[in-house]
Amino acid sequence: MAGSEAAWQAAEMGVQVVIHEMRPKVGTFAHQTGNLGEMVCSNSFRSDDDEQNAVGLLHWEMRAAHGLIMASADQHRLPAGGALAVDREPFAETVTARLRAHRNISISSEEVTELPKTGQWIFATGPLTSPALGAAIRAETGAEALAFFDAIAPIVYAESIDMEKAWMQSRYDKGETEEERTAYLNCPMDRDQYEAFIDALVTADKTEFHEGETAGYFDGCLPIEVMAERGRETLRHGPMKPVGLTNPHQPDVKAHAVVQLRRDNALGTLFNIVGFQTKMKYGAQTDVFRMIPGLENASFARLGGIHRNTFINSPTLLDDRMRLRSRPNIRFAGQITGVEGYVESAAMGLLAGRLAAADILGRPLATAPQDSAMGALIHHITGGAEAKTFQPMNVNFGLFRPVEGLKGGRRGRKDRYKAYTDRAKAAWQGWLEQCALDAA
């Protein structure tokens, strides 16, 4: 996805591009063909609503930038209500044929196993990056900064949390500053609520592991439901321990268990539920997590999961123009940068392709404006996200800077989302116009 879009954008700007795609010579456990743009699982690009949905807005921005992935998806669209579903085989065949036919593109079918010292490169090798290249990336970045699995805890919009029940406090009020002493948001449970919650976790529908995934990554990131299955008290002694906390709403009542959430971005609009990585199915997750006092009306920016997924710690490794800080001739794009999903991956490819081509042509381009969907994503992964707990992210409105003067909460949501999307479109159009002016 990302590599195809990056190559297309750079080639359209007049730069000579070589695509290195190791398939079909070297395969992955999920890909089935040698085609470029192969969709490895679902055939959905999710919502196509560009006024009320952040991924629909990303569609709009990529269409405005004449993206190959969106044009091919539109060409092979299947009926799916408000979603953009794609006929996967003709889609990938179209992507492949258009790239092959481009006069500025050639395709090599060799595996790349090193980070080259010269030339401008974009590494968009995805969640299933080949092991040899993974080792080369790790040698450059250090083992700490390259993950082979994600373990995502659910992420909740701050505005949807009931602060009449929850409160901000770090365990034992630890911290030098007021900000550190109130770094966590706490949701208390009494005994009955805890017991009902454990029952729900144990009986919830779970997803199976994909073939090729291994369970060896479980150390330190056990799914919450597996912890619950090990013993009814396990969570009370683990992520839900109630110690070192006093509920200001009921100071005399000792909570039986406490769920903690931690700020997930610098804007303070997103919170992740600490230690709650899970293999529960999405529907089950929302039902179970809304049993937590304070989260009854929670809206989720993304749900939890555990997958095989190679990704780098972009907040520490990449600059805002997607270059490896230690080796500026190397860019990363797509899922390996810590975005999640076909659309987000293609979007990061679009941006990387344009930024790399602009460098080669000697007219360096500013990165995408923060108020666009593209810019919100790139700002999140290259700086806005907490580096220590960095996990892959879908595009969502929690990544956007608030629009001043609008009503918060659920009631103002429609107007707020429309304001975000209007502002984003204007910002993105401005950036595209700047690209065109630079080229003229």
Ligand X SMILES: Cc1cc2nc3c(=O)[nH]c(=O)nc-3n(C[C@H](O)[C@H](O)[C@H](O)COP(=O)(O)OP(=O)(O)OC[C@H]3O[C@@H](n4cnc5c(N)ncnc54)[C@H](O)[C@@H]3O)c2cc1C
Q: Nearest distance from residue 414's CB to ligand X, in Å?
A: 25
User: Taking contact as CB under 6 A, which single stretch among the options 48-56, 162-170, 192-200, 335-343 is the one that binds ligand X?
Assistant: 335-343
Rule CB under 6 A: is residue 428 a binding residue for ligand X?
no
Per rule CB under 6 A, is residue 2 in the interface with ligand X?
yes
Within 10 Å of residue 389's Cβ, how many Cβ atoms?
Answer: 12
Asked if 364 contacts 331 with a C-beta cutoff of 8 angstroms, the reply is no
**According to CB under 6 A, which one of 13, 83, 122, 124 is a site residue for ligand X?**
124
Question: Is the CB of 125 or the CB of 272 nearer to ligand X?
Answer: 125
On the question of a cis peptide bond just before residue 293, with omega within 30 degrees of 0, the verdict is no
Phi, psi of 418 (to 5 degrees): -65, -40
> Is the Cβ of residue 111 or residue 199 nearer to ligand X in the bound state?
111
Nearest-angstrom CA–CA distance, 347 and 318: 17
**Block residue for tokens 């040899």:** 132
Residues between 200 and 219 with contacts to ligand X, criterion CB under 6 A: 210
For residue 220, give the amino acid letter: G
The only residue of 9, 72, 120, 125 in contact with ligand X, by rule CB under 6 A: 125
Stretch that binds ligand X, among 196-204, 252-260, 341-349, 356-364 (CB under 6 A): 341-349
Binding window for ligand X (CB under 6 A); candidates: 148-156, 192-200, 294-302, 329-337: 329-337
d(CA 220, CA 261): 18
Binds ligand X by CB under 6 A, chosen from 51, 74, 93, 111 = 111
What whole-number distance in Å separates Cα of residue 333 and Cα of residue 76? 25
Residue 284 has which token pair? Answer: 């089950």
According to CB under 6 A, which one of 53, 130, 313, 382 is a site residue for ligand X? 130
Nearer to ligand X, 125 or 265 (CB): 125
The CA distance from 360 to 75, in Å, is 31
Query: Coil, strand or helix: which one is 88?
Result: helix
Pattern 348-387, binding to ligand X, x per CB under 6 A? ----------------------------------------
Among 83, 85, 112, 376, binds ligand X (CB under 6 A): 112
Q: Which helix (H) or strand (E) holds 78?
A: strand 77-78
Residues 6+ apart with CB under 8 A from 85: 43, 44, 45, 77, 78, 79
Residue 327 touching ligand X (CB under 6 A): no
- Is 170 or 335 the residue whose CB approaches ligand X more closely? 335
Contacts of 39 (CB under 8 A, 6+ apart): 86, 88, 91, 92, 342
Residue 19 beta carbon to ligand X: minimum distance, rounded to whole angstroms: 9
Is 392 a binding residue for ligand X by CB under 6 A? The answer is no
At residue 137, the 3 state secondary structure works out as helix
Q: Of 319, 363, 329, 327, which is closest to residue 119 (Cα–Cα)? A: 329
- Under the criterion CB under 6 A, does residue 83 sit at the interface with ligand X? no
Alpha-carbon span 80 to 73, nearest angstrom: 13
Distance CA 387, CA 324 (A): 15
Interface with ligand X, residue 398, by CB under 6 A: no
Secondary structure (3-state) at 206: strand
* Residue 265 found at the interface with ligand X (CB under 6 A): no
Question: Is residue 93 at the binding interface for ligand X, with CB under 6 A as the rule?
Answer: no
154 binds ligand X (CB under 6 A): no
Q: Is 41 in the site for ligand X (CB under 6 A)?
A: yes
CB burial readout 391-405, b (16+ within 10 A) else e: bbbbbbbbbbeeeee
Minimum gap (Å) between residue 275 Cβ and ligand X: 24
Q: What minimum distance in Å lies between the beta carbon of 119 and ligand X?
A: 15
Q: Which residues pair with 49 in a beta bridge?
A: none
Greatest alpha-carbon span in the chain: 74
Using the contact rule CB under 6 A, the part of the chain among 55-63, 99-107, 332-340, 403-411 near ligand X is 332-340
107 binds ligand X (CB under 6 A): no
Among positions 8, 13, 21, 67, the unique one binding ligand X when judged by CB under 6 A: 21
**Residues lying near ligand X in the complex (CB under 6 A):** 1-3, 20-23, 28, 30-31, 40-42, 111-112, 124-130, 133, 210, 308, 334-336, 341-342, 345
